Chains A and B, each alone.
Chain A
Protein backbone atom coordinates (compact mmCIF):
# COMPACT_ATOMS: atom_id res chain seq x y z
CA UNK A 1 0.00 0.00 0.00
CA UNK A 2 1.25 3.42 -0.93
CA UNK A 3 0.46 5.71 1.90
CA UNK A 4 1.48 9.28 1.46
CA UNK A 5 1.85 11.80 4.13
CA UNK A 6 4.06 14.82 4.15
CA UNK A 7 7.06 14.13 6.34
CA UNK A 8 6.77 17.43 8.12
CA UNK A 9 3.43 16.42 9.56
CA UNK A 10 2.90 19.55 11.60
CA UNK A 11 1.21 21.61 8.91
CA UNK A 12 -1.09 18.87 7.57
CA UNK A 13 -2.78 18.41 10.91
CA UNK A 14 -3.84 22.03 11.08
CA UNK A 15 -4.97 22.07 7.44
CA UNK A 16 -8.24 20.71 6.14
CA UNK A 17 -8.04 17.98 3.56
CA UNK A 18 -9.85 19.05 0.39
CA UNK A 19 -9.36 15.89 -1.62
CA UNK A 20 -8.64 12.44 -0.24
CA UNK A 21 -7.93 9.55 -2.57
CA UNK A 22 -8.26 6.21 -0.82
CA UNK A 23 -6.89 3.00 -2.27
CA UNK A 24 -7.61 4.23 -5.77
CA UNK A 25 -7.10 1.69 -8.57
CA UNK A 26 -7.55 1.75 -12.31
CA UNK A 27 -7.19 -1.49 -14.19
CA UNK A 28 -7.77 -1.34 -17.92
CA UNK A 29 -9.04 -4.56 -19.47
CA UNK A 30 -6.42 -6.55 -21.38
CA UNK A 31 -3.54 -4.89 -19.57
CA UNK A 32 -1.23 -6.80 -17.29
CA UNK A 33 -0.63 -4.08 -14.71
CA UNK A 34 -3.02 -1.53 -13.30
CA UNK A 35 -2.47 2.05 -14.55
CA UNK A 36 -3.05 3.28 -11.01
CA UNK A 37 -2.32 0.80 -8.27
CA UNK A 38 -3.82 1.42 -4.85
CA UNK A 39 -3.03 5.10 -4.53
CA UNK A 40 -3.78 6.93 -1.32
CA UNK A 41 -3.16 10.67 -1.27
CA UNK A 42 -4.38 13.66 0.71
CA UNK A 43 -4.54 17.08 -0.91
CA UNK A 44 -4.64 19.90 1.66
CA UNK A 45 -7.07 22.73 1.08
CA UNK A 46 -5.77 25.80 -0.73
CA UNK A 47 -2.53 24.23 -1.93
CA UNK A 48 -1.13 23.37 -5.31
CA UNK A 49 -0.25 19.70 -5.32
CA UNK A 50 1.78 18.59 -8.30
CA UNK A 51 1.63 15.07 -9.66
CA UNK A 52 4.87 14.63 -11.53
CA UNK A 53 6.53 11.60 -13.03
CA UNK A 54 7.80 10.03 -16.23
CA UNK A 55 5.27 9.48 -19.01
CA UNK A 56 3.10 6.45 -18.46
CA UNK A 57 3.37 6.62 -14.68
CA UNK A 58 -0.39 7.10 -14.33
CA UNK A 59 -0.39 10.74 -13.23
CA UNK A 60 -2.98 11.91 -15.76
CA UNK A 61 -5.15 8.85 -15.11
CA UNK A 62 -4.99 9.65 -11.42
CA UNK A 63 -6.06 13.25 -12.00
CA UNK A 64 -8.88 12.30 -14.35
CA UNK A 65 -10.30 9.94 -11.73
CA UNK A 66 -10.85 12.89 -9.39
CA UNK A 67 -13.55 14.33 -11.67
CA UNK A 68 -14.34 10.83 -12.94
CA UNK A 69 -13.55 11.51 -16.59
CA UNK A 70 -11.97 8.11 -15.97
CA UNK A 71 -13.96 5.90 -13.60
CA UNK A 72 -11.85 4.17 -10.94
CA UNK A 73 -11.93 0.39 -10.79
CA UNK A 74 -11.87 0.50 -7.02
CA UNK A 75 -11.12 2.87 -4.18
CA UNK A 76 -12.78 6.03 -2.98
CA UNK A 77 -12.65 9.72 -3.85
CA UNK A 78 -13.55 12.06 -1.02
CA UNK A 79 -14.12 15.72 -1.81
CA UNK A 80 -14.53 18.13 1.11
CA UNK A 81 -15.38 15.20 3.37
CA UNK A 82 -18.03 13.86 1.00
CA UNK A 83 -17.65 10.53 -0.77
CA UNK A 84 -18.19 11.36 -4.45
CA UNK A 85 -17.11 7.99 -5.87
CA UNK A 86 -20.66 7.25 -6.99
CA UNK A 87 -22.13 10.77 -7.11
CA UNK A 88 -23.64 12.10 -10.34
CA UNK A 89 -20.52 12.82 -12.42
CA UNK A 90 -21.97 15.86 -14.22
CA UNK A 91 -22.95 17.54 -10.95
CA UNK A 92 -19.53 16.68 -9.52
CA UNK A 93 -17.67 18.17 -12.49
CA UNK A 94 -19.49 21.48 -12.21
CA UNK A 95 -17.84 21.85 -8.79
CA UNK A 96 -14.36 21.17 -10.14
CA UNK A 97 -12.44 23.48 -12.48
CA UNK A 98 -10.74 21.64 -15.32
CA UNK A 99 -7.90 22.86 -17.54
CA UNK A 100 -6.20 20.58 -20.06
CA UNK A 101 -3.07 21.05 -22.14
CA UNK A 102 -4.96 21.65 -25.39
CA UNK A 103 -7.23 24.10 -23.44
CA UNK A 104 -10.20 22.85 -25.49
CA UNK A 105 -11.97 26.19 -25.92
CA UNK A 106 -15.20 25.89 -27.89
CA UNK A 107 -14.29 27.42 -31.27
CA UNK A 108 -17.89 28.23 -32.22
CA UNK A 109 -18.48 30.28 -29.09
CA UNK A 110 -17.21 33.73 -28.19
CA UNK A 111 -14.78 34.17 -25.32
CA UNK A 112 -17.64 35.38 -23.11
CA UNK A 113 -19.77 32.35 -24.01
CA UNK A 114 -16.87 30.03 -23.31
CA UNK A 115 -16.30 31.51 -19.86
CA UNK A 116 -20.05 31.51 -19.15
CA UNK A 117 -20.43 27.76 -19.76
CA UNK A 118 -20.36 26.50 -16.18
CA UNK A 119 -22.34 29.38 -14.60
CA UNK A 120 -25.05 28.73 -17.20
CA UNK A 121 -25.03 25.02 -16.39
CA UNK A 122 -25.38 25.96 -12.74
CA UNK A 123 -28.46 27.98 -13.66
CA UNK A 124 -27.25 31.46 -12.75
CA UNK A 125 -29.33 34.33 -14.11
CA UNK A 126 -27.92 36.15 -17.12
CA UNK A 127 -26.99 39.30 -15.19
CA UNK A 128 -24.91 37.37 -12.70
CA UNK A 129 -23.30 35.32 -15.48
CA UNK A 130 -22.37 38.45 -17.41
CA UNK A 131 -20.88 40.14 -14.33
CA UNK A 132 -18.90 36.99 -13.52
CA UNK A 133 -17.52 36.77 -17.07
CA UNK A 134 -16.31 40.37 -16.98
CA UNK A 135 -14.78 39.93 -13.56
CA UNK A 136 -12.86 36.83 -14.62
CA UNK A 137 -11.62 38.25 -17.91
CA UNK A 138 -10.37 41.24 -15.94
CA UNK A 139 -8.69 38.91 -13.46
CA UNK A 140 -6.74 37.05 -16.13
CA UNK A 141 -5.68 40.31 -17.77
CA UNK A 142 -7.96 40.23 -20.82
CA UNK A 143 -10.04 43.44 -20.81
CA UNK A 144 -13.65 42.32 -21.42
CA UNK A 145 -14.33 45.33 -23.63
CA UNK A 146 -11.76 44.04 -26.10
CA UNK A 147 -12.09 40.28 -25.79
CA UNK A 148 -15.68 39.44 -24.80
CA UNK A 149 -16.95 39.00 -28.33
CA UNK A 150 -13.84 37.56 -29.94
CA UNK A 151 -13.56 33.94 -30.98
CA UNK A 152 -10.84 31.54 -29.81
CA UNK A 153 -9.18 31.47 -33.24
CA UNK A 154 -8.53 35.20 -32.94
CA UNK A 155 -6.39 34.73 -29.81
CA UNK A 156 -2.75 33.75 -29.33
CA UNK A 157 -1.83 30.56 -27.50
CA UNK A 158 -1.10 32.43 -24.30
CA UNK A 159 -4.40 34.31 -24.44
CA UNK A 160 -6.30 31.07 -25.02
CA UNK A 161 -4.61 29.60 -22.00
CA UNK A 162 -5.74 32.58 -19.91
CA UNK A 163 -9.31 32.17 -21.13
CA UNK A 164 -9.06 28.46 -20.26
CA UNK A 165 -8.12 29.37 -16.70
CA UNK A 166 -10.91 31.96 -16.50
CA UNK A 167 -13.37 29.36 -17.77
CA UNK A 168 -12.23 26.83 -15.20
CA UNK A 169 -12.66 29.40 -12.42
CA UNK A 170 -16.06 30.61 -13.61
CA UNK A 171 -18.28 28.45 -11.40
CA UNK A 172 -16.10 29.40 -8.42
CA UNK A 173 -15.03 25.79 -7.77
CA UNK A 174 -13.07 25.04 -4.62
CA UNK A 175 -10.96 22.52 -6.52
CA UNK A 176 -9.17 22.79 -9.85
CA UNK A 177 -7.58 20.06 -11.91
CA UNK A 178 -4.89 21.11 -14.36
CA UNK A 179 -3.32 18.70 -16.82
CA UNK A 180 -0.07 20.19 -18.16
CA UNK A 181 -1.85 23.53 -18.55
CA UNK A 182 1.27 25.33 -19.79
CA UNK A 183 2.60 22.41 -21.83
CA UNK A 184 1.77 23.68 -25.30
CA UNK A 185 3.05 27.21 -24.84
CA UNK A 186 6.40 28.67 -25.86
CA UNK A 187 8.93 28.89 -23.00
CA UNK A 188 8.91 32.67 -22.62
CA UNK A 189 5.13 32.98 -22.52
CA UNK A 190 4.96 29.91 -20.29
CA UNK A 191 7.17 31.56 -17.71
CA UNK A 192 5.02 34.67 -17.69
CA UNK A 193 1.78 32.68 -17.47
CA UNK A 194 3.16 30.58 -14.62
CA UNK A 195 4.02 33.74 -12.68
CA UNK A 196 0.61 35.23 -13.42
CA UNK A 197 -1.05 32.05 -12.29
CA UNK A 198 0.86 31.99 -9.01
CA UNK A 199 -0.13 35.59 -8.36
CA UNK A 200 -3.76 34.68 -9.09
CA UNK A 201 -3.60 31.63 -6.85
CA UNK A 202 -2.31 33.79 -3.99
CA UNK A 203 -5.64 35.64 -4.25
CA UNK A 204 -8.08 32.83 -4.92
CA UNK A 205 -6.46 30.06 -2.85
CA UNK A 206 -7.99 27.14 -4.71
CA UNK A 207 -7.08 23.55 -4.04
CA UNK A 208 -5.25 22.55 -7.18
CA UNK A 209 -4.12 19.20 -8.51
CA UNK A 210 -1.60 19.92 -11.24
CA UNK A 211 -0.10 17.32 -13.54
CA UNK A 212 3.21 17.84 -15.29
CA UNK A 213 6.17 15.80 -16.47
CA UNK A 214 8.53 18.72 -15.97
CA UNK A 215 10.25 18.70 -12.58
CA UNK A 216 11.27 22.35 -12.94
CA UNK A 217 7.64 23.35 -13.41
CA UNK A 218 6.71 21.17 -10.43
CA UNK A 219 9.26 22.90 -8.23
CA UNK A 220 8.18 26.32 -9.36
CA UNK A 221 4.43 25.81 -9.09
CA UNK A 222 3.99 23.32 -6.28
CA UNK A 223 3.31 23.79 -2.58
CA UNK A 224 3.71 20.03 -2.45
CA UNK A 225 4.96 17.57 -5.00
CA UNK A 226 4.05 13.92 -5.41
CA UNK A 227 6.67 12.16 -7.49
CA UNK A 228 5.01 9.16 -9.07
CA UNK A 229 6.47 5.92 -10.34
CA UNK A 230 4.79 3.44 -12.66
CA UNK A 231 1.33 2.48 -11.42
CA UNK A 232 1.06 5.88 -9.71
CA UNK A 233 3.12 4.60 -6.78
CA UNK A 234 4.26 7.55 -4.73
CA UNK A 235 8.03 7.74 -4.61
CA UNK A 236 7.94 10.86 -2.45
CA UNK A 237 5.24 13.32 -1.40
CA UNK A 238 6.70 16.43 0.10
CA UNK A 239 7.44 20.12 -0.24
CA UNK A 240 9.75 21.16 -3.10
CA UNK A 241 12.48 22.09 -0.59
CA UNK A 242 12.48 18.69 1.01
CA UNK A 243 12.36 16.85 -2.29
CA UNK A 244 15.35 18.79 -3.58
CA UNK A 245 17.41 18.52 -0.43
CA UNK A 246 16.37 15.11 0.85
CA UNK A 247 15.26 12.88 -2.01
CA UNK A 248 13.60 9.80 -0.49
CA UNK A 249 15.22 7.29 -2.84
CA UNK A 250 17.23 6.81 -6.01
CA UNK A 251 14.18 7.14 -8.23
CA UNK A 252 13.48 10.63 -6.88
CA UNK A 253 17.14 11.63 -7.04
CA UNK A 254 17.33 10.45 -10.67
CA UNK A 255 14.11 12.18 -11.55
CA UNK A 256 15.27 15.51 -10.11
CA UNK A 257 18.39 15.00 -12.14
CA UNK A 258 21.57 16.95 -11.81
CA UNK A 259 21.69 20.51 -10.64
CA UNK A 260 19.44 20.25 -7.61
CA UNK A 261 21.16 23.34 -6.18
CA UNK A 262 20.34 25.31 -9.29
CA UNK A 263 16.74 24.10 -9.13
CA UNK A 264 16.55 25.31 -5.54
CA UNK A 265 17.08 28.81 -6.87
CA UNK A 266 13.53 28.53 -8.19
CA UNK A 267 12.30 28.35 -4.63
CA UNK A 268 13.52 31.71 -3.39
CA UNK A 269 12.57 35.03 -4.75
CA UNK A 270 14.42 38.28 -5.12
CA UNK A 271 12.17 39.90 -2.49
CA UNK A 272 13.42 37.37 0.10
CA UNK A 273 17.05 38.50 -0.04
CA UNK A 274 18.76 41.72 0.91
CA UNK A 275 19.66 43.74 -2.15
CA UNK A 276 22.98 45.55 -2.60
CA UNK A 277 23.18 49.23 -3.43
CA UNK A 278 24.79 50.45 -6.64
CA UNK A 279 26.15 53.87 -7.50
CA UNK A 280 23.32 55.90 -9.02
CA UNK A 281 23.09 59.35 -10.53
CA UNK A 282 20.09 61.39 -11.61
CA UNK A 283 19.56 61.82 -15.31
CA UNK A 284 19.93 65.60 -15.12
CA UNK A 285 23.09 65.48 -12.98
CA UNK A 286 25.95 67.60 -14.31
CA UNK A 287 29.30 66.23 -15.39
CA UNK A 288 31.09 67.09 -12.19
CA UNK A 289 28.51 65.25 -10.05
CA UNK A 290 28.74 62.14 -12.19
CA UNK A 291 32.52 62.12 -12.21
CA UNK A 292 32.55 62.66 -8.48
CA UNK A 293 30.12 59.78 -7.94
CA UNK A 294 32.23 57.52 -10.15
CA UNK A 295 35.42 58.50 -8.33
CA UNK A 296 33.96 57.66 -4.95
CA UNK A 297 32.46 54.36 -6.18
CA UNK A 298 34.21 51.01 -6.48
CA UNK A 299 31.74 49.88 -9.16
CA UNK A 300 33.37 51.33 -12.26
CA UNK A 301 30.11 52.63 -13.58
CA UNK A 302 26.96 54.38 -12.42
CA UNK A 303 23.30 53.63 -13.03
CA UNK A 304 21.44 56.61 -14.41
CA UNK A 305 17.90 56.99 -13.02
CA UNK A 306 15.17 59.13 -14.51
CA UNK A 307 12.84 61.44 -12.56
CA UNK A 308 10.69 58.43 -11.53
CA UNK A 309 13.81 56.57 -10.38
CA UNK A 310 13.52 54.17 -13.29
CA UNK A 311 16.87 52.84 -14.61
CA UNK A 312 17.85 54.52 -17.90
CA UNK A 313 21.55 53.92 -18.69
CA UNK A 314 24.77 52.42 -17.45
CA UNK A 315 27.46 55.09 -17.63
CA UNK A 316 31.13 54.32 -16.98
CA UNK A 317 34.08 56.66 -16.46
CA UNK A 318 35.26 55.76 -19.94
CA UNK A 319 31.88 56.76 -21.41
CA UNK A 320 32.18 60.10 -19.65
CA UNK A 321 35.59 60.78 -21.15
CA UNK A 322 34.68 59.71 -24.67
CA UNK A 323 31.40 61.53 -24.95
CA UNK A 324 32.14 64.79 -23.29
CA UNK A 325 29.14 67.02 -22.92
CA UNK A 326 26.47 64.71 -24.33
CA UNK A 327 23.33 64.05 -22.25
CA UNK A 328 23.58 61.04 -19.91
CA UNK A 329 20.84 59.06 -21.62
CA UNK A 330 22.71 59.11 -24.93
CA UNK A 331 25.94 57.55 -23.72
CA UNK A 332 26.88 54.29 -22.09
CA UNK A 333 24.74 51.16 -22.32
CA UNK A 334 21.03 50.48 -21.92
CA UNK A 335 20.03 48.90 -18.58
CA UNK A 336 19.58 45.20 -19.32
CA UNK A 337 18.79 42.47 -16.77
CA UNK A 338 15.91 44.17 -15.00
CA UNK A 339 13.87 41.93 -12.64
CA UNK A 340 10.93 42.47 -10.31
CA UNK A 341 10.92 41.41 -6.64
CA UNK A 342 8.72 38.36 -7.29
CA UNK A 343 11.23 36.96 -9.81
CA UNK A 344 12.98 33.83 -8.59
CA UNK A 345 16.70 33.82 -7.92
CA UNK A 346 16.94 31.54 -10.92
CA UNK A 347 15.42 34.27 -13.10
CA UNK A 348 17.84 36.79 -11.60
CA UNK A 349 20.79 34.47 -12.19
CA UNK A 350 19.80 33.96 -15.82
CA UNK A 351 19.61 37.70 -16.28
CA UNK A 352 22.80 38.67 -14.53
CA UNK A 353 24.93 36.09 -16.31
CA UNK A 354 24.41 37.84 -19.62
CA UNK A 355 24.28 41.37 -18.20
CA UNK A 356 26.93 43.95 -19.07
CA UNK A 357 27.97 44.58 -15.48
CA UNK A 358 27.12 41.11 -14.08
CA UNK A 359 24.31 42.33 -11.87
CA UNK A 360 20.53 42.19 -12.19
CA UNK A 361 18.76 45.49 -11.48
CA UNK A 362 15.74 45.07 -9.20
CA UNK A 363 12.80 47.40 -9.75
CA UNK A 364 9.41 47.55 -8.03
CA UNK A 365 6.10 47.16 -9.86
CA UNK A 366 6.18 50.79 -11.03
CA UNK A 367 9.66 50.26 -12.45
CA UNK A 368 11.52 52.25 -9.79
CA UNK A 369 15.03 51.16 -8.87
CA UNK A 370 15.37 49.12 -5.65
CA UNK A 371 18.89 47.70 -5.71
CA UNK A 372 20.88 45.03 -7.47
CA UNK A 373 21.46 41.29 -7.20
CA UNK A 374 24.90 39.88 -7.97
CA UNK A 375 26.44 36.43 -8.06
CA UNK A 376 27.48 36.62 -4.39
CA UNK A 377 23.81 36.90 -3.39
CA UNK A 378 23.02 33.77 -5.34
CA UNK A 379 25.92 31.89 -3.78
CA UNK A 380 24.89 32.97 -0.34
CA UNK A 381 21.30 31.91 -0.95
CA UNK A 382 22.38 28.45 -2.10
CA UNK A 383 24.58 28.05 0.97
CA UNK A 384 21.81 29.11 3.36
CA UNK A 385 19.26 26.84 1.77
CA UNK A 386 21.60 23.90 1.91
CA UNK A 387 22.34 24.46 5.59
CA UNK A 388 18.68 24.86 6.48
CA UNK A 389 17.64 21.80 4.53
CA UNK A 390 20.33 19.68 6.17
CA UNK A 391 19.27 20.86 9.60
CA UNK A 392 15.67 20.03 8.77
CA UNK A 393 16.57 16.58 7.47
CA UNK A 394 18.64 15.97 10.61
CA UNK A 395 15.77 17.03 12.85
CA UNK A 396 13.47 14.61 11.07
CA UNK A 397 15.76 11.63 11.78
CA UNK A 398 14.29 9.19 14.29
CA UNK A 399 16.03 9.15 17.65
CA UNK A 400 17.43 5.67 17.83
CA UNK A 401 19.14 5.95 21.20
CA UNK A 402 18.02 8.25 23.94
CA UNK A 403 20.57 10.98 24.44
CA UNK A 404 21.53 11.87 27.95
CA UNK A 405 21.19 15.61 27.82
CA UNK A 406 22.49 16.38 31.25
CA UNK A 407 25.76 14.66 30.49
CA UNK A 408 26.14 16.53 27.23
CA UNK A 409 25.38 19.80 28.90
CA UNK A 410 27.99 19.07 31.50
CA UNK A 411 30.79 18.23 29.12
Chain B
Protein backbone atom coordinates (compact mmCIF):
# COMPACT_ATOMS: atom_id res chain seq x y z
CA UNK B 1 0.00 0.00 0.00
CA UNK B 2 2.80 2.36 0.99
CA UNK B 3 4.62 1.39 -2.18
CA UNK B 4 1.58 2.21 -4.27
CA UNK B 5 1.24 5.66 -2.72
CA UNK B 6 4.94 6.27 -3.26
CA UNK B 7 4.59 5.16 -6.86
CA UNK B 8 1.63 7.47 -7.45
CA UNK B 9 3.39 10.46 -5.94
CA UNK B 10 6.57 9.80 -7.94
CA UNK B 11 4.61 9.50 -11.17
CA UNK B 12 2.04 12.22 -10.42
CA UNK B 13 2.88 14.30 -13.48
CA UNK B 14 2.49 11.17 -15.66
CA UNK B 15 -0.80 10.39 -13.90
CA UNK B 16 -2.09 13.89 -14.63
CA UNK B 17 -0.87 13.85 -18.24
CA UNK B 18 -2.48 10.45 -18.92
CA UNK B 19 -5.66 11.59 -17.17
CA UNK B 20 -6.02 14.61 -19.45
CA UNK B 21 -5.40 12.39 -22.49
CA UNK B 22 -7.92 9.87 -21.27
CA UNK B 23 -10.58 12.50 -20.69
CA UNK B 24 -9.87 14.12 -24.07
CA UNK B 25 -10.09 10.90 -26.09
CA UNK B 26 -13.30 9.80 -24.33
CA UNK B 27 -14.76 13.30 -24.53
CA UNK B 28 -14.20 13.59 -28.29
CA UNK B 29 -15.61 10.11 -28.90
CA UNK B 30 -18.70 10.77 -26.76
CA UNK B 31 -19.31 14.01 -28.62
CA UNK B 32 -19.13 12.20 -31.97
CA UNK B 33 -21.36 9.39 -30.64
CA UNK B 34 -23.91 11.95 -29.48
CA UNK B 35 -24.06 13.82 -32.77
CA UNK B 36 -24.24 10.65 -34.88
CA UNK B 37 -26.39 8.66 -32.42
CA UNK B 38 -29.05 11.36 -31.91
CA UNK B 39 -29.17 11.97 -35.66
CA UNK B 40 -29.66 8.24 -36.33
CA UNK B 41 -32.31 8.03 -33.62
CA UNK B 42 -34.22 11.05 -34.95
CA UNK B 43 -34.03 9.67 -38.49
CA UNK B 44 -35.37 6.24 -37.61
CA UNK B 45 -37.67 6.44 -34.55
CA UNK B 46 -40.86 6.73 -36.54
CA UNK B 47 -40.22 3.92 -39.04
CA UNK B 48 -40.13 0.27 -38.03
CA UNK B 49 -37.67 -1.31 -40.49
CA UNK B 50 -34.89 1.31 -40.44
CA UNK B 51 -35.17 1.47 -36.66
CA UNK B 52 -34.65 -2.26 -36.30
CA UNK B 53 -31.75 -2.23 -38.74
CA UNK B 54 -29.94 0.64 -37.04
CA UNK B 55 -30.35 -0.98 -33.61
CA UNK B 56 -29.06 -4.31 -34.97
CA UNK B 57 -26.02 -2.68 -36.56
CA UNK B 58 -25.04 -0.65 -33.50
CA UNK B 59 -25.52 -3.71 -31.27
CA UNK B 60 -23.25 -5.69 -33.53
CA UNK B 61 -20.51 -3.09 -33.12
CA UNK B 62 -20.54 -3.75 -29.38
CA UNK B 63 -19.97 -7.47 -29.88
CA UNK B 64 -16.69 -7.02 -31.79
CA UNK B 65 -13.84 -7.78 -29.35
CA UNK B 66 -12.19 -4.46 -28.66
CA UNK B 67 -8.66 -5.81 -28.94
CA UNK B 68 -9.43 -7.10 -32.44
CA UNK B 69 -11.12 -3.90 -33.60
CA UNK B 70 -8.21 -1.72 -32.54
CA UNK B 71 -5.78 -3.92 -34.44
CA UNK B 72 -8.03 -4.11 -37.51
CA UNK B 73 -8.12 -0.32 -37.65
CA UNK B 74 -4.32 -0.05 -37.91
CA UNK B 75 -4.60 -0.89 -41.61
CA UNK B 76 -6.70 2.04 -42.73
CA UNK B 77 -5.91 4.53 -39.94
CA UNK B 78 -2.48 3.69 -38.56
CA UNK B 79 -1.78 3.93 -34.83
CA UNK B 80 -2.32 6.61 -32.17
CA UNK B 81 -5.44 8.63 -31.38
CA UNK B 82 -7.41 8.57 -34.69
CA UNK B 83 -8.19 4.82 -34.84
CA UNK B 84 -9.01 4.90 -31.10
CA UNK B 85 -11.58 7.67 -31.64
CA UNK B 86 -13.16 5.72 -34.49
CA UNK B 87 -13.33 2.50 -32.50
CA UNK B 88 -14.74 4.24 -29.40
CA UNK B 89 -17.37 6.02 -31.50
CA UNK B 90 -18.50 2.69 -32.92
CA UNK B 91 -18.74 1.17 -29.43
CA UNK B 92 -20.58 4.11 -27.95
CA UNK B 93 -23.41 4.45 -30.48
CA UNK B 94 -25.85 1.85 -29.19
CA UNK B 95 -26.85 3.39 -25.82
CA UNK B 96 -27.34 6.82 -27.37
CA UNK B 97 -29.25 5.61 -30.43
CA UNK B 98 -31.42 3.34 -28.32
CA UNK B 99 -32.21 5.98 -25.71
CA UNK B 100 -32.92 8.61 -28.35
CA UNK B 101 -35.42 6.28 -29.98
CA UNK B 102 -36.95 5.27 -26.65
CA UNK B 103 -37.14 8.87 -25.43
CA UNK B 104 -38.81 10.11 -28.59
CA UNK B 105 -41.24 7.19 -28.77
CA UNK B 106 -42.26 7.53 -25.12
CA UNK B 107 -43.67 11.02 -25.62
CA UNK B 108 -47.44 11.12 -25.26
CA UNK B 109 -48.81 11.38 -28.82
CA UNK B 110 -51.39 13.88 -27.50
CA UNK B 111 -48.62 16.36 -26.71
CA UNK B 112 -47.23 16.12 -30.23
CA UNK B 113 -50.72 16.32 -31.71
CA UNK B 114 -51.51 19.47 -29.79
CA UNK B 115 -48.25 20.98 -31.05
CA UNK B 116 -49.25 20.03 -34.57
CA UNK B 117 -52.73 21.44 -34.01
CA UNK B 118 -51.21 24.76 -32.98
CA UNK B 119 -49.40 25.03 -36.29
CA UNK B 120 -45.88 23.90 -35.46
CA UNK B 121 -44.04 22.47 -38.45
CA UNK B 122 -42.47 19.00 -38.28
CA UNK B 123 -39.09 20.59 -37.58
CA UNK B 124 -40.43 22.94 -34.88
CA UNK B 125 -42.17 20.05 -33.18
CA UNK B 126 -38.93 18.05 -33.13
CA UNK B 127 -36.71 20.86 -31.91
CA UNK B 128 -39.06 22.61 -29.47
CA UNK B 129 -41.17 19.77 -28.15
CA UNK B 130 -39.90 16.26 -28.83
CA UNK B 131 -36.15 16.57 -28.28
CA UNK B 132 -36.45 18.67 -25.10
CA UNK B 133 -38.94 16.15 -23.71
CA UNK B 134 -36.73 13.19 -24.66
CA UNK B 135 -33.58 14.91 -23.42
CA UNK B 136 -33.40 13.33 -19.93
CA UNK B 137 -33.57 9.86 -21.51
CA UNK B 138 -31.03 10.76 -24.21
CA UNK B 139 -28.70 12.17 -21.57
CA UNK B 140 -28.88 8.89 -19.64
CA UNK B 141 -27.78 7.14 -22.83
CA UNK B 142 -24.85 9.52 -23.20
CA UNK B 143 -23.88 8.85 -19.60
CA UNK B 144 -23.90 5.08 -20.13
CA UNK B 145 -21.86 5.47 -23.32
CA UNK B 146 -19.31 7.57 -21.46
CA UNK B 147 -18.82 4.97 -18.74
CA UNK B 148 -18.41 2.19 -21.32
CA UNK B 149 -15.89 4.24 -23.29
CA UNK B 150 -13.82 5.22 -20.24
CA UNK B 151 -13.15 1.50 -19.76
CA UNK B 152 -12.65 0.52 -23.40
CA UNK B 153 -10.31 3.48 -24.03
CA UNK B 154 -7.62 1.73 -21.96
CA UNK B 155 -7.38 -1.03 -24.60
CA UNK B 156 -6.47 1.69 -27.11
CA UNK B 157 -2.96 1.58 -25.65
CA UNK B 158 -2.27 -1.54 -27.74
CA UNK B 159 -2.11 0.71 -30.76
CA UNK B 160 -0.32 3.51 -28.88
CA UNK B 161 -3.55 5.27 -28.03
CA UNK B 162 -3.59 7.94 -25.29
CA UNK B 163 -4.69 7.49 -21.68
CA UNK B 164 -4.22 5.21 -18.66
CA UNK B 165 -4.04 2.11 -20.87
CA UNK B 166 -0.35 2.86 -21.21
CA UNK B 167 0.26 2.10 -17.50
CA UNK B 168 -1.80 -1.04 -17.63
CA UNK B 169 -0.05 -2.43 -20.72
CA UNK B 170 3.37 -1.45 -19.32
CA UNK B 171 2.49 -3.39 -16.21
CA UNK B 172 1.39 -6.35 -18.35
CA UNK B 173 4.64 -6.29 -20.30
CA UNK B 174 6.63 -6.35 -17.06
CA UNK B 175 4.56 -8.89 -15.24
CA UNK B 176 6.64 -10.34 -12.41
CA UNK B 177 8.68 -7.18 -11.89
CA UNK B 178 8.09 -5.61 -8.46
CA UNK B 179 6.46 -2.40 -9.69
CA UNK B 180 4.34 -4.04 -12.44
CA UNK B 181 1.42 -4.35 -10.07
CA UNK B 182 1.74 -0.68 -9.11
CA UNK B 183 1.62 0.34 -12.77
CA UNK B 184 -1.60 -1.62 -13.31
CA UNK B 185 -3.16 -0.32 -10.08
CA UNK B 186 -2.17 3.24 -11.00
CA UNK B 187 -3.93 2.82 -14.37
CA UNK B 188 -7.04 1.36 -12.75
CA UNK B 189 -7.23 4.12 -10.14
CA UNK B 190 -6.83 6.71 -12.90
CA UNK B 191 -9.66 5.16 -14.92
CA UNK B 192 -11.94 5.10 -11.87
CA UNK B 193 -11.22 8.75 -11.08
CA UNK B 194 -11.93 9.74 -14.69
CA UNK B 195 -15.21 7.80 -14.60
CA UNK B 196 -16.25 9.52 -11.38
CA UNK B 197 -15.38 12.95 -12.80
CA UNK B 198 -17.44 12.29 -15.93
CA UNK B 199 -20.38 11.04 -13.91
CA UNK B 200 -20.34 14.09 -11.66
CA UNK B 201 -20.16 16.33 -14.73
CA UNK B 202 -23.18 14.58 -16.27
CA UNK B 203 -25.12 14.80 -13.07
CA UNK B 204 -24.58 18.54 -13.06
CA UNK B 205 -25.27 18.86 -16.79
CA UNK B 206 -28.50 16.93 -16.34
CA UNK B 207 -29.69 19.30 -13.66
CA UNK B 208 -28.74 22.37 -15.68
CA UNK B 209 -30.22 21.26 -19.01
CA UNK B 210 -33.39 19.44 -18.00
CA UNK B 211 -36.53 21.54 -17.68
CA UNK B 212 -37.85 21.77 -14.12
CA UNK B 213 -41.15 20.63 -15.53
CA UNK B 214 -39.63 17.24 -16.32
CA UNK B 215 -37.65 16.72 -13.13
**A interface list, Cβ under 8 A from B:** 67, 69, 90-96, 98, 100-110, 117-118, 121, 151-153, 167, 177
Contacts and interface: CB of A to CB of B under 8 A. Distances in A.
B213 A107 contact: yes
The majority secondary structure among interface residues of chain B is helix
Contact of A104 (B108, B211, B212): B108
A387 B129 CA distance: 55
Given A107-B111, A108-B211, A153-B213, A100 B132 contact: no
A110 B132 CA distance: 13
Interface in B160-215: 211-214
B211 A100 contact: no
A116 to B, nearest CB: 11
Nearest to B116: A69
B212 to A, nearest CB: 6
Contacts of A153: 213
A311 to B, nearest CB: 43
A93 B119 contact: yes
A281 B111 CA distance: 56
Interface size class of B (residues with CB under 8 A): 20 to 34
Given A69-B113, A104-B110, 17 more contacts: A90-B121, A92-B119, A93-B117, A98-B114, A98-B118, A101-B110, A104-B112, A105-B114, A106-B115, A106-B129, A106-B133, A107-B133, A108-B211, A109-B211, A110-B213, A152-B213, A167-B118
Contacts of B115: 104, 106, 117
Contacts of A109: 211, 213
A67 B113 CA distance: 12
Interface of B: 108, 110-121, 124, 129, 132-133, 211-214
A93 B124 CA distance: 14
B94 to A, nearest CB: 26
Contacts of A69: 113, 116-117
Contact of B113 (A100, A117, A121): A100
Given A107-B111, A108-B132, A67 B117 contact: yes
Contacts of A100: 110, 113-114, 117
B119 A121 contact: yes
- When A and B form their complex, which 5 residue pairs have the shortest distance between CB atoms, in order from nearest? A104-B114, A151-B213, A98-B117, A94-B119, A108-B211
Contacts of A117: 115, 118, 120
Residue of B117, B120, B124, B129 with most chain A CB atoms under a 10 A cut-off: B117
Given A90-B121, A100-B110, A107 B116 contact: no
Contacts of B133: 106-108
A108 B119 contact: no
A96, A103, A104, A177 pick with most chain B CB within 10 angstroms:
A104
Contacts of B110: 100-104
A367 B132 CA distance: 47
A90 B120 contact: yes
Given A100-B110, A104-B113, A93 B214 contact: no
